[in-house]
Amino acid sequence: MNTPHDFDETQTLLRDSLQRWLEQRFAFEQRLALLQRPDGLQKLWQGLAQDLGVLGCAFPERVGGTGGSAAEHLLVMQALGNALAGEPYLGAVVICGGLLARCGADERLAALIDGRIRPAWAGDEAAARHDRLPTQTMLRAQGPGWRLRGRKSLVLAAPGATHFIVSAQLHGAVGLAWVASDTPGIARRDYRTVDGGWASELAFDVTLPADALLCEPGIAAQQALERTLDEATLALCAEALGVMHQLQHATTNYARQRKQFGQPIAAFQVLQHRVADMHIARVQAEALTWTSLLQLDADAVHRERAVSSAKVMTSRACRLVGQGAVQIHGGMGMTEELAVGHYFRRATMIEAQFGSVDWHLRRVEQRADGDPRSA
């Protein structure tokens, strides 16, 4: 498996071409304008699908992909974090695409890869905190199809989604339902997230056809869900690396330009130490994120321990780097006009997404004891 400095030719081409494409089409000023609309940050979606073919980079060639692996997901997410792009790659491709692939839904996966559909992951419930298994959303057989009832509290990029993959309880086990967003009986309330994106609360009371069920319910669906969410957590860490790179870059440049007492503040030793701490935290997070990629195909205990360790390191680095960047910039660091404030808010959201530091520390502790139960 590759390290951050050992990409093959195809992966290097993917990274470089995506970075150039984002630089040309997603300047910071464009982002400010796009933030005003619920679907504004998804305007580049067809370009990712049609111009670059990025949506299929980690999927098999038989469904229109390029035969890559989770490493490609991390490369794409790091580039998106570097550009602060709000495209819903994490939810639509890493999570929904991963579940479709593991459940054998090749036709739906092919439609996602070529941009015909854009699904969103509907898994979080208000009372579940960071528990990945559904507790309140229920799926029951009804005639030849299914009845889905329940609520999901944080569905990122739901505005503009064509479908939802919804986790639900089915006869005491995990079930995964494929739901078209225009199905009668779905109530949606949109709201802004702290990083400027959009999410929705969804209430379901819908009747679904027989083919709406993904995977065999129970162990098969739960294993597919856990494996996919671990991959998504690691992809989120990769996005954080891009975000932190920009925070550190902006802070270093500002410290060299800003003068006090007749000299750049970068000459002050206390700020040199602060910037060094930011750099070390980011490099440690990078090393652990890419090292943990080696464990994605390991058994569940080793995989979950590695992923949670990376998430803990990355979340702590996001806080240290983000706060350091804002504090060195002073009050202007939180203004809407300066990019560093937007990167800081995204880093803050990443810190809490897919589980807090405490949640992942408990998971690491349990897996160290070989406990196969959910944290």
At residue 371, the pLDDT reads: 55
DSSP assignments along 212-261, one per residue? GEES-TTHHHHHHHHHHHHHHHHHHHHHHHHHHHHHHHHHHHHHHH-EET
At residue 26, the pLDDT reads: 79
Domain range 220-368, CATH architecture: Up-down Bundle (1.20)
At residue 140, the pLDDT reads: 95
Q: Indicate the domain borders of the chain.
A: 9-117, 121-216, 220-368
At residue 81, the pLDDT reads: 95
- Spatial neighbors of 252 by CB under 8 A, at least 6 apart, are 266, 275
Query: How far is CA 347 from each of CA 22, 112, 127, 236, 374, rounded to the nearest angstrom?
Result: 19, 28, 24, 10, 26
Give how far the C-alpha of residue 93 lies from the chain's centroid of Cα atoms, to the nearest Å. Answer: 10
At residue 50, the pLDDT reads: 87
Place of tokens 């203004």: 335
User: Residue ranges of the chain with pLDDT lower than 50?
Assistant: 1-2, 372-375
Give the CATH superfamily of 121-216. Answer: Butyryl-CoA Dehydrogenase, subunit A, domain 2 (2.40.110.10)
At residue 39, the pLDDT reads: 65
Residue 140's DSSP bridge partners are: 147
**What is the bridge-based pairing of β-strands 186-192 and 145-156?**
unpaired
At residue 96, the pLDDT reads: 98
At residue 148, the pLDDT reads: 97
As assigned by CATH, the class of the 9-117 domain is mainly alpha
